[in-house]
Structure 1
Amino acid sequence: MQIIRLSRFIQSVNDQKASEASLKALLNTFTCSANPDVQNFLHEKAIDSENRRSVRTYLVVDNNEIVGYFSLRIETFDFHLDVSKSLRRIISGNKSAERFPTLLIAQLGRSDKYRHQVPGREILLRALNTCINFASEIGGVYSAVVEYDDVPVLHSFYKNEGFKFIQQNHHNNKMMAGIKI
């Protein structure tokens, strides 16, 4: 499996090596019945978000098929008052921080076709490796954060991968968990 930035495909379209329709057809091969929002983002919003530079989307590809994908962006969040000093230090590098810049894993999904072949953990680890590489190049970012629906299976998934629950985001009611990178 390899990771290919969506912008590479967009550049091919811009260079007339491929058509926009063929790119959209490729993206539309991705299905994620467990999370229609993840599927819809890739089908309907990923190209525009990439062009606006609001997010960077990476496709996990095997044999010219999308196995999964993830989208990253830099985000700054405010800590709630009840977040412990030790967790603040893990997430921001400063136990007294009131805000923290982070790499937000804004989208993360695996194709239904690969559900029994590729664990979701594999897609997450590729996203985290990309975050680590990015953070080592620019500095100032100590963590990667995910936002997710308040569902027990997602709590367990992220906890088992080493993420620490931070807080609930009051803007969108999503749970937030982070990991030091």
Structure 2
Amino acid sequence: MNVEVYSISDIEDIFKEQNLDIKEYLSRFTIGVNSKIQDFFRDSALARNRENVCRTFIVIDLDSDPLDNIVGYFSLTITYRKINEDVSKKLKRKISSDAERHNIFSATLISKLGRADKYKGKISGKEIMNLALETCYQIYELTGLRHVCVDYYDNEALEEFYLNKSGFKKYQHDDEQGLNYCFYKFS
């Protein structure tokens, strides 16, 4: 499959130039597994991008209908991650010297990531994650921001995806919310 990553800003500019409705285009993205991922993309990604809250990147199938070619997407933002006191000193040191000394570190957060239902079996979530990590690596090369974080709710499939398939390491868990905090570090 021939895919390419475009920022939602670039897609918006292309649609404006051609007098096309970007909201209609975004509304064609469907994902049945997690309606929050679908709803964010359809209803909020463009506004969040314009507000400079995050940047959304769209994975496009270059061999498909140009008005119905969204393979998936990911959204990135910069964050400061606070580490609980009970996280081991060894793990804090593994994250960074700031994490060890101050219980905080900066990172690029992959806040959303999803694949369209129509591309299930054609491209894996891991391939979309790799595209997201490639973009994060560009951020690292430009800024030195070497950590990437993801958060996910307790779920065996998500744990398998983030920890075993994508190479993230869990550094803490919020029992109250059932939320796992993970990091990836470029070396």
Match of 1:176 in 2: 181
Distance 1:79 1:60, change over 3 A: same
- Deviations for 1:68-118, whole angstroms, at most 9, x for unmatched residues? 100000011210112223322333344323111110000000000011110
Match of 1:18 in 2: 18
TM-align CA RMSD: 1.8
Percent same amino acid at aligned positions? 33
TM-score relative to the length of structure 2: 0.87
Match of 1:108 in 2: 113
> Quick check: 1:130 aligned with 2:129?
no
Q: Gaps spanning 5+ residues in structure 2: where? A: none
Secondary structure class of the residue paired with 2:31: coil
Amino acid at match of 2:12: I
Mapped to 1, the partners of 2:27 and 2:97 lie a distance apart of 40
> Quick check: 1:157 aligned with 2:156?
no
Secondary structure class of the residue paired with 1:96: helix
TM-score relative to the length of structure 1: 0.90
Amino acid at match of 2:109: L
Q: 1:1-181 alignment to 2 at 5 Å? A: 1-13=3-15, 16-19=16-19, 22-63=21-62, 64=66, 65-94=69-98, 95-139=100-144, 141-160=145-164, 161-169=166-174, 173-181=178-186
Asked if the contact 1:85/1:96 (under 8 Å) is kept, the reply is: no
Secondary structure class of the residue paired with 1:74: strand
Asked if the contact 1:104/1:146 (under 8 Å) is kept, the reply is: yes
Q: Gaps spanning 5+ residues in structure 1: where? A: none
Mapped to 2, the partners of 1:53 and 1:172 lie a distance apart of 27
Distance 1:132 1:138, change over 3 A: same
After TM superposition, give the deviation of residue 173 of structure 1 in Å.
Answer: 4.6
Mapped to 1, the partners of 2:174 and 2:26 lie a distance apart of 29
Amino acid at match of 1:67: V
Distance 1:35 1:78, change over 3 A: same
